[in-house]
Structure 1
């Protein structure tokens, strides 16, 4: 089990990095099956040749899911509970063969007047590709136990 981190242990500006994951055609096909999103710009190589990207692109929702999964691999705090994600943006397309990592920066710390046992930690999650280009960005809101 990971060491418990309390709200008071977090520092604005602290950055951690996740492991990497390479996107495969199987990832896209499985995600389409899970979601029912069989749009041709994800699934049809011939159709995709005539789009601005000239090839199939990964689902934004898949990139989001992989990005937050990678972020979770870099920290498992038993004293933190996710409250959700805000301001999710798909910044650049992701293609088969791209390798993604998540960069997680502590952006803000807020006390909770209505719940003094917890503080709110805002993590900025930036999913980057192998060129270190941001492909997705989101804010993750965590409730973290206080000492």
Structure 2
């Protein structure tokens, strides 16, 4: 099992998982989350918007990005402690291919249990043009090791 010592401050993790967003992904996520905003679900409305086409739901992008990080980061944690500063930098469209990288920004012994440690990270989500479309910060609890 990985522990906090495997995540030194400054470590950059290029996550192996990536995904092309299909129209079906966006539609299903809209249905599952009851997000019926027409910029995500109505081609005519979306074409008249400033973006000119359907936007992928931002929370789908966020959810995928968290999933991208699981194998190399949170799969080994005891618990995710929180997410912060979620920023949508650029729009995401059907057909975009997303990937993520995570930078370790902190690693400290837990205040409540010195056998554990809190690892803080910033994750950036990039599209096929290497443009950051979303970023967020998060902290997770690991064995201190």
TM range (shorter): over 0.9
Deviation at 1:9, TM superposition (A): 2.7
- 2:91 and 2:71 map into 1 onto residues whose CA distance is 23
Once the two structures are superposed, residues 75-101 of structure 1 have per-residue CA deviations (whole angstroms, 9 ceiling, x without a partner) of: 454344211211111111100000000
Q: Is the 8 A contact 1:17 1:71 kept in 2?
A: no
Q: TM-score, normalised by structure 2?
A: 0.93
Q: TM-score, normalised by structure 1?
A: 0.91
Which residue does the alignment assign to 2:45?
A: 47
RMSD, aligned CA: 1.4
Which residue does the alignment assign to 1:56?
A: 54
Q: Is the 8 A contact 1:99 1:129 kept in 2?
A: yes
Q: Is the 8 A contact 2:77 2:140 kept in 1?
A: no
Q: Is the 8 A contact 2:109 2:115 kept in 1?
A: no
- 5+ residue gaps, structure 2, are none
Which residue does the alignment assign to 1:90?
A: 88
Which residue does the alignment assign to 2:7?
A: 10
- 1:110 and 1:5 map into 2 onto residues whose CA distance is 15
Once the two structures are superposed, residues 45-104 of structure 1 have per-residue CA deviations (whole angstroms, 9 ceiling, x without a partner) of: 111111111001011100000111111133454344211211111111100000000111
- 2:78 and 2:126 map into 1 onto residues whose CA distance is 24
- 5+ residue gaps, structure 1, are none
